[in-house]
Structure 1
Amino acid sequence: MNVLIVDDDHLVRKGIVSLMPWSEFGLQVVGEAENGKKALQFLESHPVDLMITDIAMPSMSGLDLLREVREHYPGIWIVMLTFYQEFEHVQEALRLGAIDYIAKVELEKDNMRDILTRILRRTREQKLPEAPSVVVRTVGGTVGESAERVLLLAALSSERPDFLDELLPTEQQGVSEINRDVWLLPELSPAREDEIVGRIRECEELSGKWAVIRTVGIRDHNRKQICKLLVDYASHDFFYEYEPGRSVYDVDLDSFEREDRQISEKLLYQLREEWSSLELVYDEERYLALVSELEKIRPSADKLESMFYWILVQWERYVPLDLTSVFDRAELRCWADWLLWLEKMRKDIRSSFVETHYSDDMMASVIKAVDYINRNISLDLKLTEVAEEVHISRSYFSECFKNITGKTFNEYIRDARVDYAKSLLSQTNEPIYRISEKCGYPDEKYFSKVFRKKVGALPSEFRKRGQGASVQERP
Structure 2
Amino acid sequence: MNLRLVVVDDEVLVRKGIVSSVDWQRYGIEVAGEATDGKSALELIRRTKPHIVLTDIRMPHMDGLDMIRRIREELPDTKIFILSVLDDFQTVREALRLGVIDYISKLSMTPEELLQVVLSVKGKITATEDVIATEYAVNRVNLKPGNVSEQLTGHPSEICCDCIDDGALYRIVKIKAEARITPEGHSVTWQKESVLERLTGVLDESQRLHTHVWYGEDNYFWMLVADGADNLIETILSWRLKLGPELLITVGISGLAQGRSDLDQATRQAQQAFGRSFYNGWDRAYAWDEHGESREDGIIDISKEVTDAYFTAMDADSVETADQVFHRMFPAQISKQLPQTVVRDEVYHWVSTVSLYVKERGGNLHSALQGVSPFDELSRLETYPDIREWCRRLHDVLKSMLPVLRNAHRREITKAIDYAKMNYMLPIRVKEIARWVHLSENYFSNVFTKETGKTFSHFLQEIRVEQAKRLLKEEEMDWIQIGEKVGFENPKYFTKVFKKLTGLTPKQFSRTRN
The answer, yes or no, to whether TM exceeds 0.5 is no
Q: How high is the TM-score relative to the length of structure 2?
A: 0.39
Mark the structure with the bigger radius of gyration.
Answer: 2
Q: How high is the TM-score relative to the length of structure 1?
A: 0.42
